[in-house]
Amino acid sequence: MIFRSSISFCQVPLLTLCLLLGSQYPTQAAAPPCLPVGLRCEYLPNPLGIDASRPRLSWYLQDTRPGARQRAYQIRVGTDSLAVGRGQGTSWQSTQTKTDQSLVTYQGKALEPFTRYFWSVTVWDKDNKPATSAVASFETGLMDAKNWQGTWISDGNDVALKPAPYFRKVFTAAKKIKSARAYVAVAGLYELYLNGQKIGNHRLDPTYTRFDRRTLYLTHDVTAQLQAGQNAIGVLLGNGWYNHQSTAVWYFDKAPWRARPTFCLDLRITYEDGSVETIGSNRSWKTALSPVIFNSIYTAEHYDARLEQPGWNTPDFDDTKWKNTTHRSAPSQQIVSQTLHPIRNVEAIPAQSVKKLNDTTYVFDLGRNIAGISQISVQGPAGTTLRLKHGERLYDNGRVDLSNIDVHYRPTDDADPFQTDIFILAGKGEERFMPRFNYKGFQYVEVTSSQPLSLTQESLKGYFMHSDVPPVGRVRSSNPTLDKIWWATNNAYLSNLFGYPTDCPQREKNGWTGDAHIAIETGLYNFDGITVYEKWMADHRDEQQPNGVLPAIIPTSGWGYHWANGPDWTSTIALIPWNIYLFYGDTQILRDNYDNIKRYVDYIHQQSPGGLTAWGLGDWVPVKSKSPVELTSSAYYFVDARILAQAAKLLDKPADHQKYTALAEQIKSAINAKYLDTSTGLYGSGLQTELSVPLHWGLVPDEHQAAVAQNLARRVAADGYHLDVGLLGTKALLNALSENGHAETAYQLAAQETFPSWGWWIVNGATTLYENWPIDAKSDISMNHIMFGEIGAWFYKALGGIKPDPEQPGFKNILLEPHFVKGLNHFEASYLSPRGEVLSAWQRTELGITYRVVVPPNATATLTLPAAEGSTMYLNEKLVKPSPTSPKNAKPVHRLTAGTYRFELPGL
């Protein structure tokens, strides 16, 4: 380390700081110093089927120079890619706009439906030099229901009929094809084929909505699959949540929308001569039943390969025995584009072992718990029936045990066994089966066969399925248990993301609201999830009662308006939009849901004018102690009122801002008046949840914070650094400690390996998070729940110390405050923010701590380090001293511009 100068970084203006550091980071000669990259439209790369009339465009900078930033941007949008590449936008040419914003709403000429638009952005970098992105695109969809040509059709069968229907249509393409798109709106699920080829790699499209209020359509580019002359379109429809034939406690079989699956399809062909032809679904389409003899999103799929009709989706197939289709009314008045990262078979998971129990029974083990499906390859005589039972546990005799996950299933006969696919062989050599319209939660698959079969470890593999949201975060540390908790948390999160967040992938697959708001930060630190959450908030709006009440599960058949839907669960209406705003810096989700949040808060206010409400479930599945429901529910009510007040301010509604700020204060006072003992600093009887919920959610008056936090740390120590919380407590506990001077205590809890703790699950082999603390609990024992998953966010917030700044959201300014906890030798968190990659990494050395930070271009950071006044610290090998004006013992604060920093701190 070289002593050069001593500087107070609190007082150094941003630009000076980057100039100071600049000499150590020479730019590479060849690469352009600044490039706008990551171009997205509506948060998707080059999407098709955009219905928004003013889509959002975003990018970030690739620029490693210290102090890199954007001084201005100019966007061009047009239908001619070459012209856009040359810098001309005929649809929109924005002015050179002096701002660091990199999220912009389209403001050009009205967009036309069915049109591919190209766009690029030029930015002016820190030196005012222009740099232009590559050309990206987005394509509009139908934009308006009146643009549909097709009619909704089905096979006219009854809801109770089990086999899934095929549909086909042959047509002639008379001219040379330039491009073609298939627009497919479905109530149910579908697979689309053209000339025998399956289109795309999505699974379980369209994602689940309340079908009678909003129905989704997909857009496929099918140019490559069409041919001159005769073409065949094939569609296979599944039931999904639309025609729920299985029976369980949530009454999806009685859903008001339930009907035989139906679809509307427009195949829109643009010929080389510019003419357009649309082949729409109508009664001329033919239908027949498929070999999918049963399919349930909830339980499983049954397939009889003997019923296959080879070539059913090709032009030459003889369909004279097929029936005509029938017309149907549209399932809802809102047919809108699905603009989401789709569900896919994201990861193939080979079986780790197989055990042959007898000639007809094998049990495969994937070695980890997943949501998804299995695929089997097998050879055997025609009519051989295989049953593939999927579960998370084994009985002592080695067979698959479903007793932890089939508890809410209410079968009316034995034809629909839980999580058990049935595959009947055609007897034609090697055959393969993978269900199309179902997924499960499992680690083990027990295959039983009606006659002896020879199977090997390679005969079966699993596919981890989920919404294929791009990973954006990574955590690594010197503690393997911690790293495994992070991995297991992400596995549980993804296992519960299927176009809407769920509680568990096996027993329920329900959009439980409480579980989802607990997991929102874990989700957003690790995955680019905005598209799924924006869609799910539309599901909320579809389900909200006029009086503001929301159901506990969303979407719902109607169940959940009567139980479990207090503010501790359904505050999703405020918490999800607020967190999306913090992470993405986009106000649209607040705008879209503002009235809904308001109706919700007003409802609680009407019911509980005094500010306290006991509406809710409370600290669900606690270890042992039960905290008062009124305390936790009122805390969430407070949070909602505060978010509403903040949103009102952002959206320029001063009267609302005033009103709801006052309401939040009233609720806070009511809670403190009843629960806070100001002489002891205890809430209630001083349980972990009672103390951490008020601390985490900002209810504790400033002057009592230290005492309450101290009490919490003492409580945790008295509990042997073990958890004594349920779902609401897990959200608050670690944060309440680490944000109030007790990071070491928080770490001891997080890294704990004896019962009850997250680590206890891990050392006992968990690869996902569980629903209950004891591994041998008798109830609430799904092995793939995300509701205790806040720890996945805490790693970033406390150990990495990376947080969005509510004053400058979207990581425009990053709040950095790492905690160098004693138990760890190194820790590293990286997060691809909307402005680029943030890195916070620290390592213990003989001399102290080396701390590396990367602040992405076009962002700043406020870094708070734990050094005390007077101690030496080096930044990029230069000695730095905290500000002489900083109050004694105050933590030094550094304002950083974009760049890479290396701090060396004395032993801490």
Q: How far apart are CA 581 and CA 590, in angstroms?
A: 7
According to CB under 6 A, which one of 205, 266, 503, 904 is a site residue for ligand BGC?
503
Q: Minimum CB separation from ligand BGC for residue 208, in Å?
A: 17
57 lies in the binding site for ligand BGC (CB under 6 A): no
Distance of CA 18 to the CA centre of its chain: 36
Q: Minimum CB separation from ligand BGC for residue 616, in Å?
A: 10
Assign residue 858 a region: left if phi > 0, alpha if psi is -120 to 50, beta otherwise? left
According to CB under 6 A, which one of 187, 259, 713, 787 is a site residue for ligand BGC?
787
811 lies in the binding site for ligand BGC (CB under 6 A): no
Task: Give the range of 130-138, 504-512, 799-807, 866-874 binding ligand BGC by CB under 6 A.
Answer: 504-512
Q: Return the half-sphere exposure (C-beta side, CA atoms, 13 A cut-off) of residue 570.
A: 31
392 lies in the binding site for ligand BGC (CB under 6 A): no
798 lies in the binding site for ligand BGC (CB under 6 A): no
Q: Which of residues 614-673 bind ligand BGC (CB under 6 A)?
A: 617, 620
The site map against ligand BGC for 595-624 (x = CB under 6 A) is ----------------------x--x----
Exposed, middle or buried: residue 478 (CB in 10 Å: 0-12, 13-18, 19+)? middle
Which residue number, 514 or 681, has a Cβ lying nearer to ligand BGC? 514
DSSP, res 320: T
Sign of CA dihedral 153, 158, 159, 165: negative
136 lies in the binding site for ligand BGC (CB under 6 A): no
519 and 555 in contact (C-beta within 8 Å)?
no
The pairing of beta strand 420-424 with beta strand 301-304? parallel
Q: How far apart are CA 726 and CA 203, in angstroms?
A: 34
Return the closest-CA partner of residue 96 out of 78, 77, 75. 75
Task: Give the range of 479-487, 506-514, 584-592, 662-670 binding ligand BGC by CB under 6 A.
Answer: 506-514
Q: Minimum CB separation from ligand BGC for residue 570, in Å?
A: 11
Q: Minimum CB separation from ligand BGC for residue 567, in Å?
A: 14
Q: Minimum CB separation from ligand BGC for residue 500, in Å?
A: 14
Task: Give the range of 511-519, 579-587, 718-726, 811-819 binding ligand BGC by CB under 6 A.
Answer: 511-519
Task: Give the range of 317-325, 457-465, 500-508, 606-614 binding ligand BGC by CB under 6 A.
Answer: 500-508
Q: How far apart are CA 493 and CA 529, in angstroms?
A: 11
Tokens 């999505």 sit on residue? 202
552 and 569 in contact (C-beta within 8 Å)?
yes
554 lies in the binding site for ligand BGC (CB under 6 A): no
Name the 3-class secondary structure at 18.
Answer: helix
Buried b (16+ CB within 10 A) or exposed e, 139-152: bbbbbeeeebbbbb
According to CB under 6 A, which one of 125, 155, 406, 508 is a site residue for ligand BGC?
508
512 lies in the binding site for ligand BGC (CB under 6 A): yes
What's the N-to-C CA distance of the chain in angstroms?
Answer: 18
Which residue number, 91 or 506, has a Cβ lying nearer to ligand BGC? 506
Q: Render 730-797 in DSSP notation, one character per residue.
A: HHHHHHHHHTTT-HHHHHHHHT--SSSSHHHHHHTT-SS--SSSSTT-SSS--S---TTTTHHHHIII
504 lies in the binding site for ligand BGC (CB under 6 A): yes
Two tokens, residue 412: 């009316």
298 lies in the binding site for ligand BGC (CB under 6 A): no
Residue nearest to ligand BGC (CB): 503
301 lies in the binding site for ligand BGC (CB under 6 A): no
Q: How far apart are CA 357 and CA 353, in angstroms?
A: 13
781 lies in the binding site for ligand BGC (CB under 6 A): no
Which residue number, 373 or 504, has a Cβ lying nearer to ligand BGC? 504
Which residue number, 100 or 503, has a Cβ lying nearer to ligand BGC? 503
Residue type, 451: Q
Q: How far apart are CA 375 and CA 834, in angstroms?
A: 37
Which residue number, 70 or 513, has a Cβ lying nearer to ligand BGC? 513
Q: How far apart are CA 689 and CA 795, in angstroms?
A: 20
901 lies in the binding site for ligand BGC (CB under 6 A): no
Q: How far apart are CA 358 and CA 789, in angstroms?
A: 40
829 lies in the binding site for ligand BGC (CB under 6 A): no
Task: Give the range of 164-172, 389-397, 477-485, 501-509 binding ligand BGC by CB under 6 A.
Answer: 501-509
A 10 A CB-CB count for 379 gives 15
Which residue number, 378 or 564, has a Cβ lying nearer to ligand BGC? 564
> How many of the chain's residues bind ligand BGC (CB under 6 A)?
11
Which residue number, 42 or 771, has a Cβ lying nearer to ligand BGC? 771
Q: How far apart are CA 528 and CA 416, in angstroms?
A: 36
According to CB under 6 A, which one of 501, 514, 836, 899 is a site residue for ligand BGC?
514
Q: Minimum CB separation from ligand BGC for residue 614, in Å?
A: 16
165 lies in the binding site for ligand BGC (CB under 6 A): no
250 lies in the binding site for ligand BGC (CB under 6 A): no
Containing 37, the helix (H) or strand (E) segment is: strand 35-41
Q: Render 296-312 in DSSP notation, one character per residue.
A: -SSS-EEEEGGG--TTT
480 and 513 in contact (C-beta within 8 Å)?
no
Q: Which of residues 683-712 bind ligand BGC (CB under 6 A)?
A: none
Task: Give the range of 310-318, 475-483, 512-520, 671-679 binding ligand BGC by CB under 6 A.
Answer: 512-520
Which residue number, 342 or 514, has a Cβ lying nearer to ligand BGC? 514
Q: Minimum CB separation from ligand BGC for residue 514, in Å?
A: 5
Q: Minimum CB separation from ligand BGC for residue 271, in Å?
A: 53
Cα Dmax for the chain: 90
Which residue number, 445 or 504, has a Cβ lying nearer to ligand BGC? 504
373 lies in the binding site for ligand BGC (CB under 6 A): no
The site map against ligand BGC for 522-541 (x = CB under 6 A) is --------------------
A 10 A CB-CB count for 154 gives 21
Which residue number, 508 or 904, has a Cβ lying nearer to ligand BGC? 508
Two tokens, residue 876: 């990029």
Q: Minimum CB separation from ligand BGC for residue 497, in Å?
A: 14
Q: Minimum CB separation from ligand BGC for residue 695, in Å?
A: 23
427 and 381 in contact (C-beta within 8 Å)?
yes
564 lies in the binding site for ligand BGC (CB under 6 A): yes
Two tokens, residue 803: 């947080």
Two tokens, residue 306: 């003997």
A 10 A CB-CB count for 305 gives 18
Task: Give the range of 330-338, 464-472, 510-518, 577-585 binding ligand BGC by CB under 6 A.
Answer: 510-518
Q: How far apart are CA 781 and CA 404, in angstroms?
A: 6
Binding site for ligand BGC (CB under 6 A): 503-504, 508, 512, 514-515, 564, 617, 620, 785, 787
